[in-house]
Amino acid sequence: MKKLFIIAFMLIGLCSLQTNAKPINPPDEGMWLPMFIERLNYVDMQKMGLHLTAEELYSINHSSLKDAIVNFGNFCTAEVVSNEGLLLTNHHCGYESLQKHSTVGHDYLTNGFWAYSKSEEIPTEGLTATFLVRMEDVTKKVLADVNDTMSNASRRAAITKASDKLKKEAGEKGKYEVQIKSFFDGNEYYMFVYEVYEDVRLVGAPPSAIGKFGGDTDNWMWPRHTGDFSMFRVYTAPDGKPAKFSEKNIALKAKHSLPINIKGVKKDDYAMIWGYPGSTERYMTSYGIQSTLEQANPAIINSGNTMLPIMKKDMDADANIRIKYASTYAQLANVWKNKIGESRGLKRLKVLDKKKELEDQLQAWINADPARKAKYGNVIQDLATASKQLMETKSEMNLWYFQGILMSSKVLLAPLQTMGISALIEKKDTKPEAYDAFTDIIKELYKDCAPATEKKLFAAGLELYRKEMPADMLPDIFEFIKKEYKGDIQKFTDEAFESSVFASEESFAKFIKKPNLKKFQKDLINKTTLSIYNAFIKTNTAQKDINTRLNVAKRLFVAALREMQPTKKFYPNANFTMRMTYGKVLDYTAADAVHYDYVTHLKGVMEKEDPTNDEFIVPAKLKELYNKKDFGRYGSNGDLVTCFLTTNDITGGNSGSPVINGDGHLIGIAFDGNWEAMSGDIAFEPELQRTICVDIRYVLFCIDKMANAQNLIKEMNIIE
Q: Which residues are catalytic?
A: 92, 228, 655
Q: Which helix (H) or strand (E) holds 421?
A: helix 421-427
Binding string to ligand ARG for residues 331 to 370, with x set by CB under 6 A, is what? ---x------------------------------------
Task: State the nearest-atom distance from the C-beta of 407 to ligand ARG, in Å.
Answer: 14
Judged by beta carbon, residue 68 or residue 670, the one nearer ligand ARG is 670
Distance of closest approach, residue 224 Cβ to ligand ARG, in angstroms: 9
Separation between Cα atoms, residue 108 and residue 97, nearest integer Å: 10
Distance CA 618, CA 291 (A): 42
User: Does 220 sit near ligand ARG (CB under 6 A)?
Assistant: yes
The nearer residue to ligand ARG, 336 or 571, going by C-beta atoms, is: 336
Q: Is 679 in the site for ligand ARG (CB under 6 A)?
A: no
444 binding ligand ARG? (CB under 6 A): no
CA-CA distance, 660 to 265, in Å (whole number)?
11
- In degrees and rounded to multiples of 5, residue 227 shows phi and psi of -90, 65
Binding of residue 92 to ligand ARG (CB under 6 A): yes
Kindly state the number of chain residues that form the binding site for ligand ARG, as judged by CB under 6 A. Answer: 13
Residue 262 or 273: the one with the smaller Cβ distance to ligand ARG is 273
Sign of CA dihedral 651, 657, 662, 666: positive
If one counts every other C-beta atom within 10 angstroms of the C-beta of residue 353, the result is: 12
Classify residue 598 as left (phi > 0), alpha (psi -120 to 50) or beta: alpha
Q: Do residues 605 and 618 make contact, with C-beta atoms less than 8 angstroms apart? A: yes
Is position 325 an interface residue for ligand ARG (rule: CB under 6 A)?
no
Q: Between the CA atoms of 620, 621, 625 and 626, what dihedral angle is there, to the nearest 10 degrees?
A: -30
Which residue in the shown chain puts its C-beta closest to ligand ARG? 92
Least separation, in Å, of the C-beta of 656 and ligand ARG? 9
Task: Pick between residue 58 and residue 644 the one whose CB is nearest to ligand ARG.
Answer: 644
In degrees, rounded to 5, the angle at the alpha carbon of residue 32 between the alpha carbons of residues 75 and 645 is: 70
Contact range with ligand ARG by CB under 6 A, out of 103-111, 181-189, 213-221, 551-559: 213-221
CB of 331 to ligand ARG, least distance (A): 9
Bridge-based pairing of strands 666-673 and 658-660 is: antiparallel
Q: Which is nearer to ligand ARG, 107 or 704 (CB)?
A: 107
AA letter at 80? V
DSSP one-letter string for 495-553: HHHHH-TTSSHHHHHHHHHS--HHHHHH-HHHHHHHHHHHHHHHHHHHTHHHHHHHHHH
Measured from the CB of residue 641, what is the shortest distance to ligand ARG in angstroms?
A: 19
Q: x/- string (CB under 6 A) for ligand ARG, residues 635-674?
A: -----------------x--x---------------xx--
DSSP β-bridge partners for residue 192: 135, 179
**From the CB of 617, what's the least distance to ligand ARG, in Å?**
14
Q: DSSP secondary-structure letter at 106? A: S
Alpha helices by DSSP H, 570-656: 602-608, 620-627
Part of the chain binding ligand ARG (CB under 6 A), chosen from 6-14, 77-85, 209-217, 384-392? 209-217
Binding pattern for the stretch 262-281 against ligand ARG, x by CB under 6 A and - elsewhere: --------------------
Asked if residue 199 lies in contact with residue 245, where contact means CB atoms within 8 angstroms, the answer is yes
- 212 touching ligand ARG, by CB under 6 A: yes
Nearest residue (CB) to ligand ARG, 275 versus 475: 275
Q: Do the Cβ atoms of 301 and 340 come closer than 8 Å?
A: yes
CB 404, min distance to ligand ARG, A = 17
Query: Where does this chain bind ligand ARG (CB under 6 A)?
Result: 1, 92, 212, 215-216, 219-220, 330, 334, 652, 655, 671-672
